[in-house]
A and B are shown apart, each in its own frame.
Chain A
């Protein structure tokens, strides 16, 4: 049904969407590492994450060339709501939120990249790195590395951003029906939800990200 041009535009749009999320993450960790908010015992972890996010930005910019969107100006206080570069628990919470959002957002784009094996595989390879990050940060916060149900343990302000919620296309992280099969029947509802991460649409991811993009 799609023309070659349509597919190319879809792939370009998807790559620029991914680049926007990577800008957000790389900027967040670059600022956090420079701020001194991260305790030295956790620095090796966040330097590794920082390095990956910067590499992802470079990767997508390289693929997009002059089609790459410019980096937005970020406000990680979200208009004064958060203080992540002075308060470590806030930094960790936002980190978890960004990583889990990245996992969901990349997953939601996979279908749009099926026309291009090379780009699809690169996106999948970055997607699983984001999931490694998410697991590590969650464990640092004393949580399980995987998402149980709709995730009651995230502090309320971040929960309102919709990191674990459903959208027009995909169910919430608590979903336990996969390909029409109720997967809670095998090891219970918690394991059924933990065993599958849920995607989100690009719109949903951008609604979350836009709360941290400065106006004007």
Chain B
């Protein structure tokens, strides 16, 4: 297919283009610069999500029915796919596998798991929406678009599990009066993700507006 052919040629660009990631001795993870930096930023968030759902599914939280468990397992699979996709696309420029701190989450409680899921899905949506304008390669923008709508599907499903048959799936606290979802820049997203990530993330080389 035309799409696949076109994108095969650009797949290696992430491996030779902008400055890649690095980790210094104090354990700080540098995302790198340019499009590579943005893809590493996405990879950090996807790692967080994949790890969270893996732990959630393993923990078999109380109070979740078959539908809820099936949603969590699908989300585990999707986020794992996203994570491994970015690792593969970035190749040697990828950041390392991060370690996580989910001590704030009670994995035995279905409610605690779903509420954390809601937070990280809404955060992921706003992160992708805000990062699109920072990308220069249209193929990467297309892929980010393909992923962000899946994250939005996740957010709606999680919110539907928490508050079924209500407006919560796209409620006024996340969608503004003009009908627009959130958009956050990396500098706004990373402090919100930081409590879950043990390494310090250095985003100082990322493109800004």
Contacts and interface: CB of A to CB of B under 8 A. Distances in A.
Contacts of B177: 55
A174 to B, nearest CB: 11
B81 A126 contact: no
B156 A135 contact: yes
Contacts of B84: 183, 186
A178 B143 contact: yes
A212 interface: no
B162 to A, nearest CB: 13
Interface stretch (B4-12, B25-33, B100-108): B4-12
B170 A186 contact: no
B150 A194 contact: yes
A6 interface: no
Contacts of A47: 167
Contact of B10 (A132, A145, A179): A179
B7 A194 contact: no
Contacts of A179: 7-8, 10-11, 85, 89, 139, 143
B78 A145 contact: no
A121 to B, nearest CB: 5
A171 B1 contact: yes
A132 B85 contact: no
A144 B71 CA distance: 8
A52 interface: yes
B129 A181 contact: no
Nearest to A51: B179
Interface string B118-162: 000000010011101100001101110111111111111100100
B7 A107 contact: no
Q: How large is the interface on B (under 10, 10 to 19, 20 to 34, 35 or more residues)?
A: 35 or more
A41 B130 CA distance: 35
B188 interface: no
Contacts of A59: 178-180
Given A169-B2, A186-B81, A199-B142, A136 B156 contact: yes
A47 B169 CA distance: 12
Nearest to A125: B180
Interface string A135-163: 11001000011100000000000000000
B153 A135 contact: yes
A136 B150 contact: no
Nearest to A123: B132
A105 B130 CA distance: 19
A177 B148 contact: no
Contacts of A166: 1
Contact of A129 (B77, B82, B151, B179): B179
B78 A146 contact: yes
B81 A181 contact: no
A192 B82 CA distance: 9
**Smallest CB-CB A-B distances: 6 pairs:** A55-B179, A180-B8, A131-B152, A131-B149, A48-B167, A135-B153
Interface of A: 41-42, 44-45, 47-49, 51-56, 58-59, 103, 107, 110-111, 114, 117, 120-122, 124-136, 139, 144-146, 166, 168-171, 175, 177-181, 183, 186-188, 191-192, 194-199
10 contacts: A107-B146, A111-B142, A117-B209, A125-B129, A129-B179, A130-B149, A131-B153, A135-B157, A187-B81, A197-B146
Given A124-B148, A145-B71, 9 more contacts: A45-B167, A111-B138, A122-B180, A128-B181, A145-B160, A179-B139, A187-B81, A195-B150, A199-B145
